[in-house]
Chains A and B, each alone.
Chain A
């Protein structure tokens, strides 16, 4: 494999992620507005918001520690790394061997720990409240996410994401009930992890119901911009992960330049459809009470475990 080219490809994948992530969030917001019969904000609204926030000065609370100032950079770095590991344009990103599916869950967890610590750092009650809720959601969502990865790993006999995606993409046509279960579980987990509607409302500013917004209430200026950008990157990484695991067609195996011409339109198309479906789910469902969230995520966990069991029972050749 051409090393220089693969480095360029990896760089391209990162740039695509950084640029496409706000666009994806903008697209989801647009779809939500259309479905709710409102006038949609422009597709590039999120870039303007980021540009505005980067220009503004940072206002820090008097008792903010250095952790509070460092956290946005850590969160952003974690999400950027995660979106580099997820196979989007090629099944063999050079960064792929750096982390497998389990380490990816760890990267997401690291970002969560930092945002929760930063939320509690100032000492306001809202930050603490948001951090506690975030940890509750995370503690329930993580096992379910791991179980989804274990199912995919059992099918493809590897925990490396690129091997999983290759194996799933090349399979002959067959009905895999386990993958269907795992897909539903993954969708539920990503709704919870990305602060989407059944669990958290991304646009809310009502103090008693918010989770993600409560943690970042004290941030301003470039810190807030980085956190918002990281949130869009997280949504992008989860979307690409779901597409790579459950709709892996169109991700080329090699690293040739011609493959990119196939991969890029396929990715854009899949993300557009996925974003619309996400907006649809958010429009038709109501936000759950916070005490129903464990039930929601418990269902996701149960589905993921069932997926694994069903795979072991039905799909392993005896």
Chain B
């Protein structure tokens, strides 16, 4: 009767698409997450997905430098950063539920609108690109936007920093899907930047808490009035 469906995509591209979809799902899960510990675990899972997708792109396109970026991703985003974050929240003793400025279902609906926006934005760009991963560009942009939204809707410092790191994840994925990654120097520079940024922000957390007895960023708005 009807003809069977078939997808005109090589197997590698299908795996990359699946990983991209998982990245998007994890971004949403982070947006909806209430607990800081689970948020860090989700960030770690995002790192794993990012590592896997970069490795698959490397294998599919024979771009050897991508293996190195996959390795950097694995070390930095799966082991080092989550470890630092875990240590930080243990020392700061913050495991409480995260306060959100907007309730979670509304945040997710806004997230959906952002996804539609970025998919539309990416369509003409990915039509010009010739890479195997071109269709995932929209997802990469959506991941950046969702991380941005997470930073906006959270009032505590730690989730905001995780949002910042997730945004970097999205940018990295965008680079891989649009141009098969950035030059090695740039990539190393960004990796170091993120690491150093994390360390500095860690120091900031302690400073903020010492000043205001809380990690709530809203306290900082009052500085102008005094």
Given A175-B18, A310-B21, the answer on whether A166 and B105 have CB atoms closer than 8 Å is: no
Given A171-B6, A172-B5, the answer on whether A302 and B108 have CB atoms closer than 8 Å is: yes
A313 near B5 (CB under 8 angstroms)? no
A314 near B20 (CB under 8 angstroms)? yes
Q: Which of A155, A168, A313 has the most CB of B within 10 A?
A: A313
Asked whether any CB of chain B lies closer than 8 Å to the CB of A295, the reply is yes
- Contact code string A163-180 (vs B, CB < 8 Å = 1, else 0): 100111011101111101
The contact sample of 13 A-B pairs, CB cut-off 8 A, is A156-B5, A163-B2, A166-B1, A172-B7, A175-B14, A175-B17, A176-B7, A302-B28, A306-B25, A306-B112, A309-B119, A315-B7, A318-B127
A285 to chain B, nearest CB (A): 16
Asked whether any CB of chain B lies closer than 8 Å to the CB of A237, the reply is no
- Contact code string B62-84 (vs A, CB < 8 Å = 1, else 0): 00000000000000000000000
The binding surface of chain B is classed by DSSP as helix
A172 near B6 (CB under 8 angstroms)? yes
Determine the chain B residues whose CB is within 8 A of the CB of A317 once the complex forms.
Answer: 7-8
Q: How long is the Cα–Cα vector from A253 to B1 in the complex, in angstroms?
A: 9
Determine the chain A residues whose CB is within 8 A of the CB of B126 once the complex forms.
Answer: 318
Asked whether any CB of chain A lies closer than 8 Å to the CB of B138, the reply is yes
A313 near B4 (CB under 8 angstroms)? no
B66 to chain A, nearest CB (A): 21
Q: Which of A170, A306, A314 has the most CB of B within 10 A?
A: A314
The binding surface of chain A is classed by DSSP as helix
Q: How long is the Cα–Cα vector from A172 to B7 in the complex, in angstroms?
A: 8
B24 near A310 (CB under 8 angstroms)? yes
Determine the chain A residues whose CB is within 8 A of the CB of B109 once the complex forms.
Answer: 298, 302
B120 to chain A, nearest CB (A): 10
Q: How long is the Cα–Cα vector from A312 to B115 in the complex, in angstroms?
A: 12
Asked whether any CB of chain A lies closer than 8 Å to the CB of B139, the reply is yes
Q: How long is the Cα–Cα vector from A81 to B109 in the complex, in angstroms?
A: 34
A133-181 residues at the B interface, CB under 8 angstroms:
155-156, 163, 166-168, 170-172, 174-178, 180-181
Binding site for A on B (CB under 8 A): 1-9, 14-15, 17-18, 20-22, 24-25, 28, 32, 104-105, 108-109, 111-112, 115-116, 119, 122-123, 126-127, 135-136, 138-139
Determine the chain B residues whose CB is within 8 A of the CB of A299 once the complex forms.
Answer: 32, 108
A176-210 residues at the B interface, CB under 8 angstroms:
176-178, 180-181
Q: Which of B2, B116, B123 has the most CB of A within 10 A?
A: B2
Given A299-B108, A313-B135, the answer on whether A172 and B115 have CB atoms closer than 8 Å is: no
Q: How long is the Cα–Cα vector from A214 to B28 in the complex, in angstroms?
A: 35
B2 near A170 (CB under 8 angstroms)? yes
The 10 A-B residue pairs with the shortest CB-CB distance, nearest first, are A177-B21, A170-B4, A171-B5, A298-B105, A174-B7, A175-B14, A314-B17, A172-B6, A317-B8, A177-B18
